[in-house]
Amino acid sequence: MSNADYNEISKNGLWTNNVALVQLLGLCPLLAVTGTVINGLGLGVATLLTLVLSNSSVSLIRHWVRPEVRVPVFVLIIASIVTTIELSMNAWFHDLYNVLGIFIPLIVTNCSILARAEAFASKNKVLPSMIDGFMMGLGFTAVLVLLGGMRELVGRGTLLADAHLMFGEVARNWTLVIFDDYTGLLLAILPPGAFIGLGLIIAGKNIIDKRLSKRQAQAVQNTGQEAIA
């Protein structure tokens, strides 16, 4: 595997094939827990860990799993990894675990994890699979954090509230109050706010993509003209 491939994998995971924005997978946790930045980050990191571990394990055993039984085998692997993560979060991040609640065990049902196992890890070597899992997870986490930030800012007028859930007592006063004396737009905290926010992020990505492709087309045209000249 050359470096170019890793670049391709990273670009795929973070942008071109972003789990949340392009594949639109795992929307249930995405929409449910992104009330604040910290909630989004917590679930994002948990999903990222699951993706890395599941992708590498699936890749390791890919030669010994018969295709007829591969899905149950993958699901078993993913379920045990998620259970491990759930138990560790319960032990070390108990408050965050309480906030995220059912959505931690539900990572098992996040389609993106099985999709990556099926589409990538079962066909590739360990290292690329691991990187793929990491990048996909990172892309997902980025969207969770961005959406969490948007909803927290509009809904409550703060950023990084309850950071101590994740970073310990040091972070208790990390909360940034952006608007003082803010009434709060309840809609942003409620599920419709998540849908509207995600819609806006997807629209933003499409705008950027459009601009990029236009610029690329122009660049191609320019080089073409130079070549003719």
Partner 1 sequence: MQFKTTSSPHYTPENSVNTIMRRVLLAMIPGTLATIFFFGWGVIINMLLACVVALGTEALMLGMRNRAIKPYLLDGSAILTACLLALALPQLAPWWLTCIATVSAIIFGKHLYGGLGFNPFNPAMVGYVIAIISFPKEMTQWVPPLLEGYTHLNFLQTFQVIFGGQVPAGLSWDAITMATPLDTLKTQLGLELSINDIHQHEVYGPMFGAVGGIGWEWINGLFLAGGLWLAMKRVIDWRIPAGLLGTLFFLSNSFALYDYSSFTPPTFHMFSGGIMLAAFFIATDPVTAATTPRGRWIFGAGIGFFIFVIRTWGGYPDGIAFAVLLMNMTTPLLDYYTMPRAFGHHWREFPQHTKKHDDE
Binding positions for partner 1, rule: CB under 8 A: 183, 185-188, 190, 192, 196, 199
Residue with tokens 């990491």, as numbered in its chain: 134
Contacts of 17 (CB under 8 A, 6+ apart): 23, 136
Name the minimum Å distance from CB 210 to partner 1. Answer: 14
CB closer to partner 1 out of 163 and 189: 189
The answer for 224, left when phi > 0, alpha when psi is -120 to 50, beta otherwise, is alpha
CB closer to partner 1 out of 171 and 196: 196
Name the minimum Å distance from CB 185 to partner 1. Answer: 5
CB closer to partner 1 out of 48 and 188: 188
Helix runs in the chain, H state only: 3-11, 27-33, 37-60, 70-92, 94-100, 111-119, 126-156, 164-167, 186-189, 191-228
Give CA–CA dist 209/52, Å, rounded: 27
Name the minimum Å distance from CB 228 to partner 1. Answer: 32
What distance lies between CA 200 and its chain's CA centroid? Answer: 17
Name the minimum Å distance from CB 204 to partner 1. Answer: 13
CB closer to partner 1 out of 119 and 200: 200
Cα-atom radius of gyration of the chain, to the nearest Å? Answer: 20
Name the minimum Å distance from CB 199 to partner 1. Answer: 8
Name the minimum Å distance from CB 32 to partner 1. Answer: 17
Secondary structure element (H or E) that encloses residue 174, with its range: none
Give CA–CA dist 200/224, Å, rounded: 36
CB closer to partner 1 out of 186 and 220: 186
Q: Residues 107, 113: contact at Cβ < 8 Å?
A: yes
CB closer to partner 1 out of 207 and 219: 207
